[in-house]
Chains A and B, each alone.
Chain A
Amino acid sequence: MTDLTLSRRDFLKISGAAAGAVMLGQFLPPPVAEAARLAGQIDADGDGYIPTLCEMCVWRCGVRAKVAKGKVVKLEGNADQPHSQGRLCARGQSGLMTTYDPDRVLYPLVRVGQRGEGKFRRASWDEALDIVAKNMLDIKEKYGPEAMIFSSTHNLSQVQFENLLNGYGSPNYGTQRSLCFNAMVLAFSLTYGVEEPARNYDNVEYILLVGRNLTEAISTSETAALMDALARGAKLVYLDPRYTKTAAKATEWIPIRPGADAAFLLAMIQVIVTEQIGDCDFVKKYIVGCEDLPKAMEEYTPEWAETKTGVPADTIRRIAREFAAARRFALAHPGWRTSNFINSFQTERAIATLNAVVGNVFEPNGCLIAASPEAAGVPLGKPPQPAYPRISALRLDGVPWKYPLVPLKLGVFQELRDSILGGQPYQAHGWFISRQNPVQSLPDRNRTLEALGKLDFIVDVDVILNDTAWFADVVLPEASYLERYDPLSVVDRKIFIRQPVIEPQGEAKSALWIYKQLGERLGLGDYFQYEDEEDYLRQQLAPFGLSLEELKVKGYLDPDIKRNNDEITFNTPTGKIEVYSETLAKAGFSPWPTWEEPPAPEPGAFYLLTGKVGQHTQMSTQNNQYLHKYQDEPRIWMNAQSAEKLGLKDWDLVEVTSEVGSVKLALQVTQAIRPDSVFMTPGFGKLSKGLTTAYGIGASDSVLHVTYTDPVSGGQALSQTCVTVKKA
C-alpha cells in the first residue's frame, strides 16, 4: 500500500474484501456453527438457539441467542439464569447491533497520523502484537515496569488481564471503580466485611433508595424484583434531587438537597436508636458500638437534618419510624454508583448502619444479605502459573501511601491520570487499556487528553473506535461478546458460560487469545498456560469433573455445592458489624458514621448532576443503532423556574461552563429537578469520528467535571462540580 492512511470509506472497502475472504473460508465448516450443530443447538440450515451471557452492562444476564444461517438475529433472556429470568433490558435486546455495528474495528490498526487525528492503517495481528510487545519491553527496560499503566474493568477476562499486568510487574492498575462504587464497597467492607451485600426483595415491605435509580440504571432481575415488590404493596421512599423514572414509581419522592443524603440518614438512625424502636436484640448481639451509638448520633436530630437537607424534620422522623416498624423487611439499598460527593463514604456508612439497627441482615428472610451476590463457594480451577515478580514501586494512584484504606483492586483512577501529568512520584510512559474509555469516564477530559499526550505509547483493546481508541497508537480488535469465550461466571452457586454464537467477524479475537499472544511476546508465557479458550474453560471445570460440552449445550451447570448455614459471622476484625470502626479510627478518620459538609454552588450556579438513562451503559453503547433509535435527545435538564429567571426556553442551545471546561447542548426545561441543580447523562459528545452513529450528538459531562477525591474511599465526587448556564 502506498498511501497508508485509511479513510472511513477505505475501511468499508476492506470490510467488503474481507467478507469475500470469509465466504471462501466457509468451504470449511465454520467452527462455531459446526460445534453448535454437533451439540444439537442448531439444525442443518444453521438455525437455532445458543445459550450465552450478555455483556451490554456488568450485570451479565443469561441470553438465548437465536441464530439463523450463521447470523445472530434475536436475543432472548434465558429463564434459567438468575440475572435475566427470561428478560433482557433495552441494552440487552440491542446486543446484536453492537456485534453488527457498521463501525466495528475488525482488524488491528496502527496509527499513522497525529494522535487524535483518527488516521490508522490496517496491520496483521503479528505486526500489531510485535509493535505492542516491543514498546512495552522498551518501556520496561528504560524506565522499569512501573512506567507502564494497565487499565481495564469488571469483566470476565479480568483475571487474565491481571496476569498480564502482575506478570509484567507493574503496580499501576486502573479500574473505573473510583468513578463508580468505591464509597459503597469500602463502607460495606469496613462495616460488614462484604463488598456488596445482596438485596432480597422476596418479603420486603419498606424500601429506601438513596439515589439508586433502579428503573433507569437497570439490573434486570433487581429492577423486576423492585417492580414486583411495589405491585405487592411495598412502600418505596426515594431520595434524589431529580424526579427520575424511579421517582415516578415511588410511593414518596424526597427531592433532597444534593450532597445531604448522609444528614437525612444520620437523623433516621438518631430517631431509631434514641426511641429504641430498632431490633434491639440484634443490635446488642451483632453490632460493635451499640452502647455508644445513641451518644454518637446525639447531635443528628431531625431538626438539625432539616437545615441540611431541606426536608421537614417531621418527614424524616416519620420515615425513620416507618422504616424501623418494618424491621427485617425494611431495606436501605446500598446503592451502586456512589461517587457523588466527598462525603459519599459517610452516606454509605450511614446506610450500612441503618440496615444494621433494624436487624435486616438475616438469611434467608432479611432484606440485606451480608454475603456477596457472586459468592464464591464455587472454587473454579485455574491454569497453573508461577508467582508474580515482587513489585517495589509505589502506585501512581496513591494507594495506599496517600489513600491508606482504599483496596488495591479499587484504586483511585483520577489520581493515576493526574500523576501522569505531574510526573510524580515518577513518570509513566505507556498505557495498556482494555474495554475502557477513560477519555469519557474520567473527570476533566482536557486533563485526560493532556495526560495521553505525555505518554510514549498507548494501546487499546476494543470492539469499536471509542474516544480512547481514537487516541491510541495501536488498536487491537476484540471479538464481541456474541463471538467469543470468556472465563466462566458463577451466579448463585451455578456455573454459567459465555460462548460464541457466531463466528468472529473480520479478524477480531477474544481477550483470552489477545492477552496470551501478548504475554508470550513479553516473555510471560507461563502466566498463560492454556492452549486456547476452550482449554482455559476445561481447566476451570476440572475440579468438579464437569464437562465443557454439557455446559455449552445447557448454558450452565450446577456443581451441587451446599450452602453452610452456620451462625452469622461478619468478615470484620471483630467478627461483628462495625458501626464503630477501629480501622477507620486508626487511619485517622471518624470511627462513627459522621456528617461532613459538602460544598454548595455560588449564587447563580447549579449543581451538575449526572446519571444513567435506561437505554445506555456508561460511555460504551451510544453508537449502537437500536439504542440510538430509541434514545431521547441528550439535553441538559433545568427546572422551569430557574430557566425562566435566566430567560431560557425549552430546546434553547445553551453553554454550560464549569471551572475546567465548557460545552454546548440543548436545554430541557422541566419540573422534574430541583431549582438548584441541572442534569446531564454521560457518554455523549464523542470526539471519535469513527463512531458514525453517535458522533455529533449531545455533549460530554467529562468536559465539565472537576476532579475531587474523597480521602477515605478515593471516590471521585461526580456531583460536586458546579456550573453556570447561559444561552449559547
Chain B
Amino acid sequence: MAQKKRYGFVIDVSRCIDCRACLVACSAENKVGMKYTRIWVRDLGVKGEYPNLEQTFVPYNCMHCENPPCTQVCVSGATYKDGDTGLVLVDQEACIGCGFCVDACPYNARYLDRERGVVDKCTGCIQRLQVGQQPACVTTCVGKARLFGDFNDPGSEVSVALKNARTIQRLDYELPDGAHTEPNVYFINGEVMDPQVQPHEPAYSLAETSWKSLLIPAVLAGIGASFLGQATFFTKQLVEGEKEFEE
C-alpha cells in the first residue's frame, strides 16, 4: 500500500549562489504578479570585517508545516494542508483575502495579492508534481541548492540529502498554544541562525479576540454553508472595505 506522502524541501545552503534563477522560474511558472514573489533568497549580509568575511544566501519559501498555524486561522477554509501531498495550499476560489493567515505565519511565507484579493504562497508547484515534474525553482537551480521530494520515502533525494548532510537545521517554532510548527523545509550544510530567517511570533492567532475573529465566522454561520460562495463574496467585500478604511 502506498504510504502517505510528506513532501518538502531540503536547502543546501552551501550550494546557493544567489543567482535568483529560482525566483524568476517561480514567477514565470506560477504567473506571480510583478509586485510579488512567492519565494525568496535571503542574503544574510556580509559578516565580519574586511578582509575576514563571510556571506550566506538562504533560499526560502513556505515551510509546508506539519502543524501549520495558517490553516487554523483561516476563516473561509481556503487554506488547507493537502492530505495527499502534505503541501500547504490555498484554494484561491474560496479565499476571501482577509490576510489573517499572512499574519499568522511565523515565517513571513505568505502574501496578500491586493490586485486579485487573494492570498498567495509557494505551492510546491503542485501542478508540476501532478505531471511528474519537480517544482520550477528546484528544476532550474544552478547550484543544486534546492531539493524537493517525499520525506516519507527513504530513497528520495531529500531523504538521502538529509542522511548525508554535515549539518541540519529545521526552523521549528513553538506556537503560543505550545504546539510546534514542524516545518518540512530543512536547511543543510550551513548556518542559517540569523534574525532574517528566524521564525517570529505570529501577528495574529486564533487566541486573539478581535472583531474579525468573532464577526466573520458569525457571518458565515449566519448565511449557512449552502450559500458559502455568496458568503465568501460578501465577506470579501466586508474585509476589503475595512482594509481600505485602514489605509
CB-CB < 8 A to A93: which residues of B? 21, 24-25, 28, 140
Partner of A243, one of B28, B37, B53: B53
Partner of B53, one of A87, A253, A675: A253
CB-CB < 8 A to A671: which residues of B? 46, 48-50, 53
CB-CB < 8 A to A630: which residues of B? 20, 23-24, 37
Q: Which of A216, A630, A673 has the most CB of B within 10 A?
A: A630
Pairwise interchain contact A215-B17, C-beta atoms closer than 8 A: yes
Pairwise interchain contact A245-B18, C-beta atoms closer than 8 A: yes
CB-CB < 8 A to A230: which residues of B? 14
Complex Cα distance, B154 from A87, in Å, reads 26
Pairwise interchain contact A77-B139, C-beta atoms closer than 8 A: yes
Partner of B142, one of A89, A247, A674: A89
Pairwise interchain contact B56-A255, C-beta atoms closer than 8 A: no
Complex Cα distance, B60 from A696, in Å, reads 31
Pairwise interchain contact A88-B21, C-beta atoms closer than 8 A: yes
CB-CB < 8 A to B18: which residues of A? 215, 245, 614
Pairwise interchain contact B19-A218, C-beta atoms closer than 8 A: yes
CB-CB < 8 A to B53: which residues of A? 243, 247-248, 253, 671-672
CB-CB < 8 A to B178: which residues of A? none
CB-CB < 8 A to A77: which residues of B? 139-140
Pairwise interchain contact A76-B139, C-beta atoms closer than 8 A: yes
A230 to chain B, nearest CB (A): 8
Q: Which residue of B lies closest to A627 (CB)?
A: B24
Interface string of A546-589 (1 = CB under 8 A from B): 00000000000000000000000000000000000000000000
Complex Cα distance, B15 from A94, in Å, reads 22
Interface string of A75-93 (1 = CB under 8 A from B): 1110000000011111011
- Contact flag A90-B139 (CB < 8 Å), given A227-B144, A614-B18: no
Pairwise interchain contact B140-A87, C-beta atoms closer than 8 A: yes
Complex Cα distance, B46 from A93, in Å, reads 27
Q: Which residues of chain A in 599-630 are interfacial with respect to chain B, using CB atoms and an 8 Å cutoff?
A: 614-615, 625-627, 629-630
Partner of A90, one of B19, B34, B37, B48: B19
Q: Which residues of chain B in 12-46 are interfacial with respect to chain A, using CB atoms and an 8 Å cutoff?
A: 12, 14-15, 17-21, 23-25, 27-29, 34, 37, 46
CB-CB < 8 A to A309: which residues of B? none
Pairwise interchain contact B28-A639, C-beta atoms closer than 8 A: no
A489 within 8 A of B: no
CB-CB < 8 A to A253: which residues of B? 51, 53
Q: Which residue of B lies closest to A244 (CB)?
A: B55
Complex Cα distance, B28 from A115, in Å, reads 37
- Contact flag A248-B136 (CB < 8 Å), given A90-B19, A90-B20, A90-B23: no
Helix, strand, loop or mixed for chain B's interface?
mixed
Pairwise interchain contact B51-A614, C-beta atoms closer than 8 A: no
Q: Which residues of chain A in 206-255 are interfacial with respect to chain B, using CB atoms and an 8 Å cutoff?
A: 215-216, 218, 220, 223-224, 227-228, 230-231, 243, 245-249, 253, 255
Q: Which residue of A lies closest to B41 (CB)?
A: A630
CB-CB < 8 A to B143: which residues of A? 215, 223-224, 227
CB-CB < 8 A to B27: which residues of A? 626, 629
Q: Which residue of B lies closest to A224 (CB)?
A: B142
Pairwise interchain contact A625-B34, C-beta atoms closer than 8 A: yes
A670 within 8 A of B: yes
A641 within 8 A of B: yes
B104 to chain A, nearest CB (A): 27
Interface string of B124-149 (1 = CB under 8 A from A): 00000000000010011111100000
Pairwise interchain contact B15-A227, C-beta atoms closer than 8 A: yes
A99 to chain B, nearest CB (A): 12
B56 to chain A, nearest CB (A): 7
B191 within 8 A of A: no
A134 within 8 A of B: no
A96 within 8 A of B: yes
A74 within 8 A of B: yes
B54 within 8 A of A: yes
Pairwise interchain contact B144-A224, C-beta atoms closer than 8 A: yes
Pairwise interchain contact A243-B17, C-beta atoms closer than 8 A: no
Complex Cα distance, B18 from A675, in Å, reads 25
Complex Cα distance, B15 from A67, in Å, reads 31
Complex Cα distance, B54 from A640, in Å, reads 16
Partner of B56, one of A224, A248, A639: A248
| Interface of A toward B, CB cutoff 8 Å | 73-77, 86-90, 92-94, 96, 215-216, 218, 220, 223-224, 227-228, 230-231, 243, 245-249, 253, 255, 614-615, 625-627, 629-630, 639-641, 670-675
Query: Can you add 18 more A-B contacts, CB < 8 Å, to A87-B21, A245-B55?
Result: A77-B139, A89-B19, A90-B19, A215-B19, A223-B17, A224-B143, A228-B144, A231-B15, A243-B50, A245-B17, A247-B55, A248-B53, A249-B17, A615-B20, A629-B24, A629-B37, A671-B46, A671-B48
Can you identify 6 A-B contacts, CB atoms within 8 angstroms? Answer: A88-B21, A88-B140, A90-B19, A227-B143, A629-B23, A671-B50
